[in-house]
Structure 1
Amino acid sequence: MTLGEKIRKVRVGKGFAQIESTEGRAASGVLSAIADRLEGALDPVTIENERRAQALGRYQTAMERKQKLDFAGALDLLEELLMQPFFGVSEGELMCETAECYLHEGNHPESFHWYHYALEAASAAQDQAALILAYKGLGHLEFAQGRFPYALRHFDRALALSERLPNQNGALTTHLYVLQGLCQKRMQNMKDAMQCFRLAVSCCEGTVNRRSAVWLLLLIARLFREMSFEWEAKAYTERAASLLREDPLLEDTDIPTHYGVLLGIPGNMEEVCKVLREYLTRLDDEGYAFEAGIGYVELAKMLLAVDPKQADAVCRLAFERLPDEPQYESAVCALLGEIACKREAYQAALGHYQRAADGFKQMKQAKQWAHAMQVMSWIYRKLEGARIS
């Protein structure tokens, strides 16, 4: 029932055939007149709106927990939300999120049930986006159990639906091509696997952000090398290095969240980082030190959430490989400062942020300089109390 319908129902129940004319009154005055006449009878509407807002807040908290790999905590909130559906997130999507958390927790039977519940709900509601999520999730579930022909079938269904969407999601299509290729590779269908990977690269370079294309190219290079296509692996490595070389600015760069999907390792961020480091080491060994340095910065940002000690070590590898110029030095120092704060090494963090601030000031980057100074002020208060700012 819409808000207007609820107002009408309450008005009729109170015996008001119509609201008296308020000629000459502004719109806000009309609304005040309505509120006065109904004498607070719209409280149920307000309560319902508050309930929806609280539900949305719980959903956002669940997604934050999921992003931090706290799947058990996310499940508590998601299962509660499934008991009280709310406007804004479909039932099928909620079920898919629940199933994915169970998948990450290793509870495959429960994940299987929730994905099939999601398929039923999405089919009934003709929710194409939720259907794609459900088929993709079932593919991951079958892949995790080594049932690659079944996984491939689900990924095929998800891709067919995705390609029919009016506004096709390039990142999703890229992922599905990669996942198809991984299934074909596990089934020893190397020719089909290579075709899937080539389609993924073509799609990614045309529609997805550059950082994603870099990691995808490194992934494909590794897979082609494993299939003994060394010359093509080398070509993909060079294309990845070229993209990194064209985009050397490190600050304000977002890390895509789907590297784990591209690698076929959903949810296990530590394993994702381990594999990405192997890619960068090979890139470094093949003589692309500068490009590897940029990649190490990206990897350090990812590690910051799971292992600050490793993040610090990887960031220092980046520092050693990037040019001794403020453009690079300042960004890396700021990241080292952030890592030091995470490790509660505040004195070290001060030194890193001071060096970063000096570089930002030299380059006249006011926004970055102000942020560095703000963090330094916070560190001083942390160390010495509010009297120093």
Structure 2
Amino acid sequence: MKMTLGQKIKELRIRKGFTQSELSEGLVTPSMISQIESDKANPSHQLLTQIAEKLETPIEYFLTDVESQLEKISAYKLAHAVMQKGDYEEAITLLSQMDDAPSTQISVLDIQYDLAYCYMRIGELGKATQLFEGCLDAAIVSKDLLQMVRIMNQLGSIAIAQKNYPIALHYLKKAYDLVKKEMDSDPFLIGDIAYQLGKIHSQAAEWDLAKEYFEEASAVMKDSHDIRRIADVYLELARTYRESGNFEQSLHYAQSASGLYQALDALQIIIEAEAQTGIVLGETGATDAGIEVLDRCMTMYENYGFKNKTGSVHAALARVLFQDKEFEKAIHHCQKALEYTEPGDLDNVSIYRMLATIELERDNYQQALQWIDKAAKIAEKNGASAELVKVFAVYGDIFKKQGKYKEAMESLEKMNKAMVEDLRDRKVMV
């Protein structure tokens, strides 16, 4: 079996009759020699040269292993940086090519976690769930609490995407209780879990709980600056250095890029949590405060390069303004929200439904029907049963207000049918 760098140093040290203290004298601490020998730390080229001189051995005896380890670590860090940028297909290819035991400093569990995350982000939720569950089993066996929390957080995210809210609540509440009770963890992790719990309670119209979690998510995280362009440059430098065989420089830039992408992801979570707080404020009667928060979120999205998220804030503002009977302003924000979406985007269903509801309030029945027709076509095309339930409810309100009770009853029947389909989609017995 091929020896690692640490094993080679240890074997030679013992053969030469040195203790760890004697080998470290004048170089580093004995503890550092111990870490190097156990492959928990990599020596610099200068330190390795000094160790080789003390052990009266050509440095070439060690260099192959150092380069091999460095290459594997830089490959993993490059894959991680690519993943953080959002190129999940490329990251899957890179991660899948790594060995079962890629490096003494990279665990198989880390690679499996990253693969699961990538599959989750490209929509392959079944494959992601299977990988995450395997990771969770391993984390439980090793009693790695931080890893358990991270994995349960991701399993909760998948369950939310599948609209399986009981399962999502199960994983996220366990993660939240564990991170709050047992460990002093990364505030961004706590904020992410709190944000997702807020979304679940908001979906259930449990506003007090939703507001509590959203406010915690906002409070535990701090603002940072838009540095996406720098991160992109670092990633390209990492790729370039790796292609030229300079793995040390590739590792440096890949780590830098990965850190910046993570910061950007965290910033986006902060703004999303703040926006959800604004929505809850508006929907619970604090309209002015809610609008102020949402306006601030829109500015932050634009300033930090998240313009694709701006449409959701316009839609949220429209809902709050509608509740305050500011119909013209609500229509304006609905139209702005539509500018950030594609014509057949499922997100447009709620916007068209809002426009239909506004026109219904103004007794513009023909215009209301035109908007709700648009919403129905998109929901039906996407097989979105949950959205169809809300769409047919609006149809029923339009017909009822006009005194067309037969059409209203037909809409009610369609709504009930869509509700059954939605429950079946969620695998709930009815």
Give me the TM-score of the superposition, normalised by structure 2: 0.49
After superposition, the Cα gap between the structure-2 partners of 1:273 and 1:126, relative to the gap in structure 1 and judged at 3 Å, is farther
Report SS of the residue matched to 1:164.
helix
Structure 2: runs of 5+ lacking an equivalent: 28-45, 225-266, 327-335, 337-430
> What are the ranges of 5 or more consecutive residues in structure 1 without an aligned counterpart?
260-268, 287-295, 297-389
Aligned residue runs from structure 1 range 97-136, under 5 A? 97-136=114-153
Q: Secondary structure at the match of 1:84?
A: coil
Q: 1:212-260 deviations in whole A, cap 9, x for unaligned? A: 65543323323554xx42x235323324657999x9xx9xx867xxx8x
1:39 aligns with 2:96: no
What are the superposed Cα offsets for residues 72-100 of structure 1, whole Å, 9 maximum, x if unpaired?
11011122336233355544333221111
Cα contact 1:6–1:45 (8 A) shared by 2:
yes
For the aligned residue pairs, the C-alpha RMSD in angstroms reads 4.4
Distance 1:116 1:44, change over 3 A: farther
The structure-2 alpha-carbon separation of the partners of 1:26 and 1:62, relative to structure 1 and needing over 3 Å to count, comes to closer
Give the counterpart of 1:10 among 9, 12, 26: 12
Whether 2:290 is the aligned partner of 1:236: answer yes
Q: How many residues end up aligned between the 2 structures? A: 259
Matches within 5 A, 1:352-363: none
Matched, 1:50 2:67: yes
Cα distance in 2 between the residues matched to 1:109 and 1:242: 37
TM-score by length of 1: 0.53
- The aligned amino acid for 2:9 is I
Match of 2:96 among 70, 75, 79: 79
Aligned to 2:420: none
CA distance in 2, matches of 1:162, 1:109: 26
Of the two structures, which has the highest relative contact order with CA contacts closer than 8 Å and spacing of 6 or more?
2
In the other structure, the counterpart of 1:173 is: 190
Identity across aligned pairs (percent)? Answer: 16
- One-letter amino acid of the structure 2 residue matched with residue 234 of structure 1: D
What's the counterpart of residue 162 of structure 2?
145
What residue number does 2:274 align with?
Answer: 217
C-alpha deviation, 1:153, in angstroms: 0.5
1:95 partner letter: Q
CA distance in 2, matches of 1:244, 1:113: 37
Q: Give the C-alpha shift of residue 62 in structure 1.
A: 1.6
Q: Secondary structure at the match of 2:12?
A: helix
* Pair 1:157–1:48, CA change in 2 (3 A): farther
Instruction: String of CA shifts for 1:175-222, please: whole Å, max 9, x gaps.
Output: 212211222333x3x23x431332331452354327665543323323
Q: Is the 8 A contact 1:162 1:169 kept in 2?
A: no
Write the distance in 1 (CA, Å) between the matches of 2:272 and 2:159.
25
Cα distance in 2 for partners of 1:140, 1:218 equals 18
Judge conservation of contact 1:78–1:94 (CA < 8 Å) in 2. yes
Structure 2: distance between partners of 1:38 and 1:281: 76
Contact kept? 1:177, 1:196, Cα under 8 Å: no
- Partner residue in 1 for 2:87: 70
**Letter matched to residue 180 of structure 1:** L
Change in Cα spacing, 1:88 to 1:234, as seen in structure 2 (3 Å) is farther
Q: 1:7 to 1:224 in 2, by over 3 A?
A: same
Specify the alignment match of 2:353 in structure 1: none
Q: Secondary structure at the match of 2:286?
A: helix
Deviations 1:242-283 (A, max 9, x none): 7999x9xx9xx867xxx8xxxxxxxxx95x454245458899
**Distance in 1 between residues matched to 2:78 and 2:197, nearest whole Å:** 32
Q: Does 2:252 align with 1:198?
A: no
**Cα distance change, pair 141–55 in 1 and its aligned pair in 2 (3 A):** same
Question: In structure 2, what is the Cα distance between the partners aligned to 1:33 and 1:45?
Answer: 10
